[in-house]
Amino acid sequence: MRIRFLALLLVAAALAPVYAQDGLSAVEYSDYEKGDGIFSLNLGTNIPLGFYDPTQPGLVGPNSTLGFAFGLSYLGFLDEHWALGGDAGGAFITTLAERRLFLAPISFKAAYAINLSPISILPTIGVGMAISSLSDYKHIDPLFKLGSSFLWRYNSDVSYGLHLFADIIPQFYEDSTQNRVGFFMEATLSVSYHL
């Protein structure tokens, strides 16, 4: 009886690590959890795509060149996927008439993180305002932002990323014949700090 009991204990002890590893491998690891944050510093380009003029058919060309873009952004996670935050940035764009357009988009945004460790994809939608300045002319307009961030997690504290966003900026004037909708593309690289 003792020999059978001892043999059963030895077999159980030998199999215990196998079952323990299966149990550990079933635990799902998440890159983000409630309370985590990402603070990003962005540099890149702003590409004017064109303007929609309701008085003319089709899209009017941008009459400008690629611009230099920069920005700061923050996302705070509500759970392992959903995050809320905001960003503020700026872009210097030169027109074909050698005038300098400064564009400052500021937005509140919501993102959904798709974790493919060590890569994260964050489709994002945002709303806010765009402050523009062209020579002496200044204007504040609504802003709609749509795009995605692609982050490569270098270690537990830092990620490097690519951000691709379309900015849609409706411009409204007292004279409705001057109303336009501007389309811009942001393509920036970032270093992101995990908080």
Same domain, 17 and 47: no
Q: How confident is the model at residue 29 (pLDDT cuts 50, 70, 90)?
A: low
Task: Please state the rounded mean pLDDT for residues 80-91.
Answer: 95
Same domain, 17 and 55: no
Same domain, 140 and 154: yes
**Which tens digit of pLDDT belongs to each residue from 120-132?**
999 999 999 999 9
Q: What is the pLDDT of residue 6?
A: 46
Read off the pTM. Answer: 0.78
Same domain, 42 and 97: yes
Task: Please state the rounded mean pLDDT for residues 91-97.
Answer: 90
Split into its structural domains, the chain has a count of 2
Same domain, 101 and 112: yes
Same domain, 126 and 163: yes
Instruction: Return d(Cα 162, Cα 15) in angstroms, integer.
Output: 46
State the CATH number of the domain containing residue 90. 2.40.160.20
Same domain, 86 and 172: yes
Same domain, 51 and 95: yes
Q: How confident is the model at residue 8 (pLDDT cuts 50, 70, 90)?
A: low
Q: What is the pLDDT of residue 44?
A: 96
Which range marks the domain in which residue 80 is found?
31-194
What is the DSSP annotation of 88-134? EEEEEEEBTTS-EEEEEEEEEEEEE-EEETTEEEEEEEEEEEEEEEE
**Which tens digit of pLDDT belongs to each residue from 139-192?**
899 999 999 999 999 998 999 999 999 999 998 888 878 888 999 999 999 999
**Which tens digit of pLDDT belongs to each residue from 43-76?**
999 999 999 988 888 788 888 889 999 999 999 9
Same domain, 25 and 102: no
